[in-house]
Structure 1
Amino acid sequence: MSFDVANFNVWAQKPFKEQAQAFLNAFWDDVQDQAEFIYTISYKTLRAADMHKKGIEYLYEYREGIDVDFVTGLYFYEKLWERVHKPEMDGTVWAEKSEFSRSMPVKMTAVERKNSLSDQDLNSDNRISFLEYLLHQYAADPEEFIRSSLEQLKSLDPNLDKAQKALVEVNSKLTEIEKQKAQLKKDAKGDGPKAKKAQFQLKSMKNSQMVSDLNARLLKAEAAIRAAQRAAKGSTAHPQGTAWWVERELQEVKELYGAAGARNKSVNGPKKHGKKADAWIKNKEPKWKVK
C-alpha cells in the first residue's frame, strides 16, 4: 500500500461522525456542496445498517460504530439505494436532485458490489469504515487525506472543541429524555392507574425539568458554536467540516425537540430541516427509532 496505514487508521477507527468530519475538513473546498447528503443520507443510512446488524432499535441504546463487515456493507448500499429513491413527505426524491448527483449510489449486482467493497477496503481489514466509503464515493486521494489529517491534528481549534463538548452534553440529556419517554410509552398501555399516570407524564413531558435542562444545553451549545465561528474569521486552519457538522447536528436537535428562546435560524442560515419542535411529543413513534 502506498500510504501510511497507521495514520489512516487513526481516523478510520473513530466513530462514524468523526470520520465524516475529518473527511469534510480535508476536502471541504471540493465536497462542501455534498455535506448535506453525507449527513442526512449516507451517515444516517450507515448508522441504521450498523444498528440493524447489532439488533438495536433505538438510538439511545446505540454506541456509534467505526466500521461494518462486508455483509452489512451490502445491506448499507441496498438501503442507500432505497433511501435516495423513496419520496420525501413533500414528494421530493433525493435521486432527482441534480446538485447531489456525485453522491448517488450506482446500481450494481451483488458480485459487482462485493468487488467494489474490496476496492474500498484501503486498510485490508475486510471491513468498511465510513471514511473508506467517502473516499471511494468522491474519488478522493487517500494520501492527500492523510497529509491533511496530520495538519488537522496540529491545528486543533479550542473554541470549536468547546462547541463539540457542549453538543455532547446536549446529546447526553437527549438520551436521558428518550430513554424515559420509551419507558413511559410502555407503561402508558392499558387503562389502569399506572397507565393513566404514565399517559399524563408523557403528555406533560415537554414541560418537565429534563426538557428545560435540554433547552439550557441547546442554548449553551449554540452560543459555543457562534463563538467558535467568530474566532475563526480569517483563519485558514479552522476545520470547516467539523464546524458545519456540529452546527447541523445542533440545528436538527433544536428543530425536533425545540429550545425556548433558541433562534429558529441556523448561525449560517441554511434552510430548515426536520419537523416542528413539538413533533416528538405528538408522534406515536419515538424520533430515534430506526425504521
Structure 2
Amino acid sequence: MSGVASHKKVFEDISKGDKKLKKGSTVVKDPLARTKLLGSVKKSTKLKKVSKPNAGLSRAQKHAFNRARAEKKGESFVEKLDEEGLRFFNHVTDQKFSDQAIAFLNAYWHEVGSQADFIYSVAWDTFKYADMHARGINYVHKYKQGSKLEFDIGLYFYERLCKFLGESKNKQWKDEKFAVSQPKLMTAVARKKELRLIDVNFDNQMAMIEYLLYQYREFANPSDFVTRAMSQDEHPEVRKARLALEEVNRRIQAYEAEKQRLTDESKKSGVKGLTAKNMLAQLEAGPLWEKLQAALITAEAAVRIATKKYGGGKFISDGKSSGKAIGSNQGSIWWLNRDLAEKKKKYGRRAKK
C-alpha cells in the first residue's frame, strides 16, 4: 500500500467513528528505554541558578524582583548585631527623626542618594505628622521632633503614607524614579507582623532609621549600617551649619508662637481684639521677624561654607570627636541645603512691592 493510500485509509477509519483509538501512556515501562530517555541525568546533577532578569524590565519591576528575592532569603535585613553595634544602633535611634535620616543618607548616599527628596519631603514629613497625632499637637511651632513611634502609631504612619501617595495631587512621588521608596500595600494584620521585623532592637517601637533600613533593604541592613555609620564623623563646619539652622528653627518657633497668640487675640471683640489685629499686621516689621532674618543669613553663610569645603568629600576625624575613621558628609550637606531652601522659601525676606 502506497503512502497516500495508507494515509487515506487512516482518515476513513477515523471518520467512521466506530474504531476506538488506543489510549497512550506517559509511563516508560521498559528499563532500557527509560535509561535512554534519561540519558546522563543523575540525582547529584546541579541545576544552573537563574540570574536576575535585566532585559525588558522597568526599574520598578527590577526593584520588586530584588525585594522579593531578599525577603525569600530571610537573612538580608535581620542580621544579629554584636554588643557594641547594638549600643551604637540604640544611640542612633535615640536621636531625632531628621538626624536618623541624615545618618542613613551619609551611610548609603551612593545607593539611595536619588531618593533623598522622597525621604525629606514624604517620609520625614509623615513621621512628624504621625508623631504630632500621637502626642495631640496641632501646631507645628509647638512640636519638638521625636525619635520613635509606638507600633500602633507605626500602623497609622503607614496608613497615612499610603493614603498620601494614593492622592492624585501627589502623583509626582509615584514617579518611576521613586519606585524603590514605595511602601508595599498590605492588610493591618500583615503590617503588624512587618513592624515586628522592622524593630531591629526589639523595643516595640519604630525609629526612622529602622523604617529606612527596612524600606531600602535591597541596599541596606542594620549590621552594614552600623559598620558604615560608626566610621563616619561630622565635620566641624557641617556641625556649625547644622547648629545655625537649629537657631533658625528656634526663631521660627518664637515668631509662629507670637503670630498664633495674636491671631487668637484678634478674634476677640473690643480694644483687645483691635490691638491684636494691629500688632499682627506689623509683625513682619517687628523684632522677632528681624531676628529670624538675621538667623537665616547666618545659617546661609554657614551652609555655603560647609558645602564649598566638604560637600561630597571625605573627612578624617582628628580624634577629638565621636567618630572613628573616615566618613562621607554628602547626606548632611544635601539635607542642610534642602532645609535651608525650604526655610528661605517660607520665611525669607519678601521683596518690596
Does structure 1 residue 13 correspond to structure 2 residue 89?
no
Does structure 1 residue 150 correspond to structure 2 residue 240?
no
Match of 2:337 in 1: 247
CA distance in 2, matches of 1:85, 1:64: 26
Match of 2:242 in 1: 164
How far is the alpha carbon of 1:235 from its aligned partner?
2.8
| Farther off after superposition, 112-121 or 60-69 | 60-69
Question: Residue type of the partner of 2:228?
Answer: S
Does structure 1 residue 214 correspond to structure 2 residue 292?
yes
Residues 1:192 and 1:18: Cα distance change in structure 2 (over 3 Å): same
How far is the alpha carbon of 1:260 from its aligned partner?
5.9
Question: Residue type of the partner of 1:242?
Answer: S
**Two-structure CA RMSD over aligned residues (Å):** 1.8
Structure 1 length as normaliser, TM-score?
Answer: 0.84
Structure 2 length as normaliser, TM-score?
Answer: 0.70
Match of 2:178 in 1: 100
Candidates 157, 174, 183, aligned match of 1:76: 157
Match of 2:216 in 1: 138
Checking the alignment, whether the CA contact within 8 Å between 2:244 and 2:302 is kept in structure 1 is yes
Q: 1:57-102: CA deviations, max 9, x gaps?
A: 11221221110111000000000011112233xxx51453111111
Checking the alignment, whether the CA contact within 8 Å between 2:237 and 2:306 is kept in structure 1 is yes
Candidates 42, 52, 59, aligned match of 2:123: 42
Checking the alignment, whether the CA contact within 8 Å between 1:218 and 1:259 is kept in structure 2 is no
Checking the alignment, whether the CA contact within 8 Å between 1:49 and 1:76 is kept in structure 2 is yes
CA distance in 1, matches of 2:338, 2:278: 33
Give the share of equivalent positions with the same residue, in percent: 37
For structure 2, list consecutive stretches of 5 or more residues without a partner in the other structure. Answer: 1-78, 316-327
Checking the alignment, whether the CA contact within 8 Å between 1:25 and 1:242 is kept in structure 2 is yes
Match of 2:49 in 1: none
Instruction: Choose 1 or 2 for highest CA Rg.
Output: 2
Q: For residues 254-265 of structure 1, what are the structure 2 equivalents within 5 Å?
A: 254-259=344-349
Does structure 1 residue 63 correspond to structure 2 residue 63?
no
Residues 1:233 and 1:32: Cα distance change in structure 2 (over 3 Å): closer
Residues 1:234 and 1:61: Cα distance change in structure 2 (over 3 Å): closer
Checking the alignment, whether the CA contact within 8 Å between 1:215 and 1:260 is kept in structure 2 is no
Checking the alignment, whether the CA contact within 8 Å between 1:177 and 1:210 is kept in structure 2 is yes
How far is the alpha carbon of 1:203 from its aligned partner?
1.7
Candidates 78, 91, 114, aligned match of 1:33: 114
CA distance in 1, matches of 2:274, 2:308: 49
Checking the alignment, whether the CA contact within 8 Å between 1:159 and 1:228 is kept in structure 2 is yes
Question: Residue type of the partner of 2:97?
Answer: F
Checking the alignment, whether the CA contact within 8 Å between 2:106 and 2:332 is kept in structure 1 is yes
Question: Residue type of the partner of 1:195?
Answer: G
- Where do 4+ consecutive residues of structure 1 move more than 6 Å? none
How far is the alpha carbon of 1:14 from its aligned partner?
0.7
Question: Residue type of the partner of 1:163?
Answer: A
How far is the alpha carbon of 1:232 from its aligned partner?
1.3
Three-state SS of the structure 2 residue aligned to 1:151 is coil
